[in-house]
Amino acid sequence: MARKKLNRFDLQNMKEARQPAVWITAYDYWTAQFAQQAEMDMILVGDSLGMCIYGYDGTVPVTMDQCIYHSEAVRRGAPQTFVIGDLPFLSYQVSVEEAVRNAGRFYKEAGVDAVKLEGGGRVSGQIRAIADGGMLVMGHIGLTPQSSGQLGGFKAQGRTAETAEAVIEDALAVEAAGAFAILVEAVPPEVCGIIRERLAIPVYSIGAGADADGQLMICSDVLGIFQAFTPKFVKKYENLADKSIKALSAYAKEAREGVFPADEHTYKMVEGEYEKLTALLEKKTT
């Protein structure tokens, strides 16, 4: 029997029961199916799809339409899983109106359960407006890839007392603005632990250690598909890149050698029909 889809209250109860929520990114139908079958509590259709699917250097070029297409596919693959749409660069920064409209597009066109956006205090107006629009919004602080230029690259954040304090201030601002949960990326575990203690809403980690209310990982990292680089916080549970190259090479070799397709991969003509066909063709040529 399919597992019950979680809602925000289930996630809140999990925090209170100290039961970690586990989630993963997915960008397409079949990965979403795998994630649901693996009983992930949530799926993020991250704008990391820019790197993992489209081969961009970062997430800045990703468009709202791309995020919608991928979220629709994920929704179809995982109808019983809490799905979060990730607001891409320039879909919410310009104004609160744009933020609400684009968050609403995720809900109306892709059937998501929540949206996520990057930033702390500086996006509290957008968080408030989206929440006031009746939607669930998750904050994302620490390393925020859409502003990696300002951060000097994809670098860990909050490693000094002063910068850690700024990350904690951001977390408090996100909660005060009405977010239902927050994701903390690439900060030391001590900092994530303080945030978890101070916030009533669930605090999730990606690269922020185990002292959190749950863990997110990028699917292409966990499965060993993404080859461009591997962040320090990634654990590869498989090497599907190697396995895929091996499988594709075996197919190419067999097809070139005429070993594939074999008899069992071909359709059989209905008994006696081949003889009829050759007779027909012969009649036509004489």
| Stretch of 9-17, 40-48, 148-156, 188-196 contacting ligand KIV, by CB under 6 A | 40-48
- Cβ-Cβ contacts under 8 Å for 1 (sequence gap 6 or more): none
Least distance from C-beta 192 to ligand KIV, angstroms? 13
* Residues counted in the chain: 286
Least distance from C-beta 247 to ligand KIV, angstroms? 26
170 binds ligand KIV (CB under 6 A): no
Q: Among 218, 220, 225, 233, which residue interacts with ligand KIV (rule: CB under 6 A)?
A: 218
- Cβ-Cβ contacts under 8 Å for 204 (sequence gap 6 or more): 21, 23, 181, 182, 183, 184, 212, 213, 214, 215, 216
47 binds ligand KIV (CB under 6 A): yes
User: In terms of CB distance, is 170 or 252 closer to ligand KIV?
Assistant: 170
Helix (H, G, I), strand (E, B) or coil at 85: strand
Number of residues that bind ligand KIV (CB under 6 A): 13
Q: Which of 185, 197, 238, 271 is catalytic?
A: 185
x/- binding map, residues 8-37, to ligand KIV, per CB under 6 A? -----------------x------------
**Catalytic site includes residue 185:** yes
Least distance from C-beta 49 to ligand KIV, angstroms? 7
86 binds ligand KIV (CB under 6 A): yes
Tokens coding 183: 């994701």
CB contact at 8 A, 186 and 142? yes
Rounded to the nearest 5 degrees, what angle is found at the Cα of 198, between the Cα atoms of 195 and 203?
Answer: 45
206 binds ligand KIV (CB under 6 A): yes
| Stretch of 5-13, 39-47, 93-101, 122-130 contacting ligand KIV, by CB under 6 A | 39-47
CA-CA distance, 95 to 90, in Å (whole number)? 9
Cβ-proximal residue to ligand KIV, closest one = 46
Q: Among 26, 44, 130, 173, which residue interacts with ligand KIV (rule: CB under 6 A)?
A: 44
| Stretch of 26-34, 46-54, 247-255, 271-279 contacting ligand KIV, by CB under 6 A | 46-54
Which residue in 72, 4, 75, 81 sits closest to 36, CA to CA? 81
Tokens coding 168: 């904690």
User: In terms of CB distance, is 57 or 134 closer to ligand KIV?
Assistant: 57
CB contact at 8 A, 198 and 172? yes
Which residue in 63, 22, 27 sits closest to 206, CA to CA? 22
Pairing mode of beta strands 21-25, 214-217 = parallel
Q: Which amino acid, 161? A: A
Q: What are the phi and psi torsion angles at 31 (to 5°)?
A: -65, -35
Q: Return residues touching ligand KIV (CB under 6 A).
A: 25, 44, 46-48, 86, 140, 145, 183, 185, 206, 216, 218
Active site residue ranges:
185
